[in-house]
Amino acid sequence: MHKDDTLNLAMEPDRVYDLEERLIGFSLLILKIVDSLPNNRTDNHLAGQLLRSGTSPSFNYGEAQASESRADFIHKMKVCHKELKETRVGLKIIDRRSMTSEPGDVKSALQECEQLVRIFSKSIETAHSNSGN
């Protein structure tokens, strides 16, 4: 898969059913947004925070896939969910400040982030109900 194809996956999430691939595409879109931010003190702060929270879900989902127990799986899925919610706030700040040269990418990332938050919410709920808790 070519780099631009993966970015397109993040912008066309209806075409992607593999959650790992969606998260990787989302991470690549976050990287593109971070790279488009101006180089100043404010934007560098937000860029660093967004870089960490926006790429974390793909790494933590990889850990969830190798979880040692249902409780460990749920914990790692909750970390992904938390990081996605943090990313959503960062994207909203960037969007409202019109800080990037790629406003369409920010809108796409916000839409994908919303969908991913819902997917993780439902997955955590399902894992809880299947664990008997």
pLDDT digit string, tens, across residues 17-65: 699 999 999 999 999 999 999 999 999 999 999 999 999 999 999 999 9
pLDDT, residue 2, reads: 47
Assessment of whether the complete model's pTM goes beyond 0.75: yes
Q: What is the 3-state secondary structure (H, E, C) of the chain?
A: CCHHHHHHHHHCHHHCCCHHHHHHHHHHHHHHHHHHCCCCHHHHHHHHHHHHHHHHHHHHHHHHHCCCCHHHHHHHHHHHHHHHHHHHHHHHHHHHHCCCCCHHHHHHHHHHHHHHHHHHHHHHHHHHHHCCC
Domain containing 44 equals: 3-130
> Which of the four pLDDT bands, split at 50, 70 and 90, describes residue 12?
low
Structural domains in the chain (count): 1
- d(CA 6, CA 11) in angstroms, rounded, equals 9
pLDDT, residue 6, reads: 46
| The one-letter amino acid at 57 | P
Report pLDDT digits (tens) over 68-115.
999 999 999 999 999 999 999 999 999 998 877 778 999 999 999 999
pLDDT, residue 4, reads: 52
Evaluate whether 110 touches 92 at the Cβ level (below 8 Å): yes
Residue of 107, 108, 50 whose CA lies nearest to 84: 50
Q: Domain containing 56 — which CATH number?
A: 1.20.1440.60
Nearest-10 Cα torsion for 26, 70, 82, 22: 10
pLDDT, residue 15, reads: 52
